[in-house]
Amino acid sequence: MFKKITSLFTAITFIAVTSLFGLSASAQTPMVIKLSHVVAENTPKGLASLKFKELAEKKLPGKVQVQVFPSSQLFGDAKELEALLLNDVQIINPSLSKFDRYTKKISVFDLPFLFKDAKAAADFQKSKEGQALLKSMEDKGLIGLAYWHNGMKHFSTNKDFRVPADVKGLKFRIQPSDVYESFIKSIGGSAQKMAFAEVYQGLQTGVVDGQENTFSNIYSQKFHEVQKTIVETNHGILDYMVVVNAKWWNSLPADIKKGLSEAMAEATIYNNQIGQQKNDEARKLIVDSGKAKVVKLTDAQLAEWRKAVAPVYAQFEKDIGADLIKAAQSHSLKK
Ligand code: LMR
């Protein structure tokens, strides 16, 4: 009798201890990893997120289950970084313009006309300085695992325009970036920070007159249906940093960390292969729709844009660092 009571007591203690540390289920139940983003599935980031899920689950069968939440379904722009720090989501991939609360240095990516094309931005990301930025927010609890690409951004508005003088007084939706706020001011407009999920309605109801984005985002969000002109300004890059909660990442068992790192490396290659293609496809679909006019700039018109933005560099040089700006610029000078 005494023996029976002792073994019952031992069993109860075991269950209590293992469930307290979440150990009881780990042998059978896969670890759930939530990945949340704000764009549509048929975009470079949407497709690469699904690719990461597929690869991670293949490399770690029965060990992980990656749940992907697109289109701000789980967390939108305003909440996703906080949610990551609270471990309510384990992986997010915000655009580089959404980190300036955590490090001013990353704003280098927002400087207008800094990169001559998407390749120059990618080369900078691969450089020593670009790789260091992935680690620049560790003291804030964020680790950057990879850069993902979307592509070059263009302005659109509800009127016909070519040069900064034409957009004077217009209100533009921007991402939460102080550099972009100053950029819009430099071209004579006013800026309103707004979450991505609210942009279509903002444009449709006239809360804002214009926005700036890549063709894949413009098409998948139907912005071209509520805008008159898209001017191919190529004024900046829309790229992403895939980030994880540092505490969560550092506490992962070695095999899981290895499998996830490999899946991330392969999903990154895939993302970089499809970025250009998705944007070219979206551009064609917009032109074919006959809704917004897509316009290329002459060299003289482009020069007007470049001239207008000079004060932005002077304003942010100290925060970002002259050396970092120079290092980023060097990749656009290469042949
Ligand atoms: C935006 O807010 O315009 C973009 O950052 C959305 C995205 O993630 O591509």
Domain ranges of the chain: 2-333
Pocket test for ligand 1, best of 73, 213, 222 (most atoms within 8 A of CB): 213
Cα 6 to ligand 1 centre (Å): 60
Pocket test for ligand 1, best of 71, 109, 217, 279 (most atoms within 8 A of CB): 217
Q: Is 95:238 a contact under the CB 8 Å cutoff?
A: yes
Tokens encoding 311: 């004060």
Tokens encoding 56: 């991670």
| CA 219 and chain centroid, separation | 17
Ligand 1 atom nearest to 240, measured from its CA: 8
- In the chain, what are the helix, strand and coil shares in percent, each to the nearest 5? 55, 20, 30
**How does pLDDT run across 13-29, given as a tens digit for each residue?**
444 444 443 444 445 79
Tokens encoding 89: 């989501």
Of the candidates 158, 288, 277, the residue with the CA atom closest to the CA atom of residue 228: 158
Burial tier of 247 (Cβ tally within 10 Å: 0-12, 13-18, 19+): exposed
- What is the reported pLDDT for 78? 87
Ligand 1 atom nearest to 175, measured from its CA: 2
Cα 186 to ligand 1 centre (Å): 22
Ligand 1 atom nearest to 43, measured from its CA: 9
Contacts of 88 (CB under 8 A, 6+ apart): 34, 75
Domain 2-333 listed as CATH 3.30.2350.10: no
Q: What is the pTM of this model?
A: 0.90
Determine the Cα–Cα distance for residues 266 and 259; give it in Å rounded to an integer.
Answer: 11
Of the candidates 263, 261, 267, 273, the residue with the CA atom closest to the CA atom of residue 145: 261
Determine the Cα–Cα distance for residues 335 and 331; give it in Å rounded to an integer.
Answer: 9
Determine the Cα–Cα distance for residues 292 and 212; give it in Å rounded to an integer.
Answer: 14
**How does pLDDT run across 18-75, given as a tens digit for each residue?**
444 344 444 579 999 999 999 999 999 999 999 999 999 999 999 999 999 999 999 9
Q: Kind of pairing, strands 171-174 and 190-193? A: parallel
Q: Can you say whether the dihedral through the CA atoms of 156, 158, 161, 164 is positive or negative?
A: negative
Q: Can you say whether the dihedral through the CA atoms of 38, 98, 198, 113 is positive or negative?
A: negative
Using a 6 Å CB cutoff, which residues line ligand 1? 38-39, 45, 95, 150, 175, 196, 213, 217, 238
Cα 19 to ligand 1 centre (Å): 40
Contacts of 25 (CB under 8 A, 6+ apart): none
- Which residues in the chain show pLDDT less than 50? 1-2, 5, 8-26
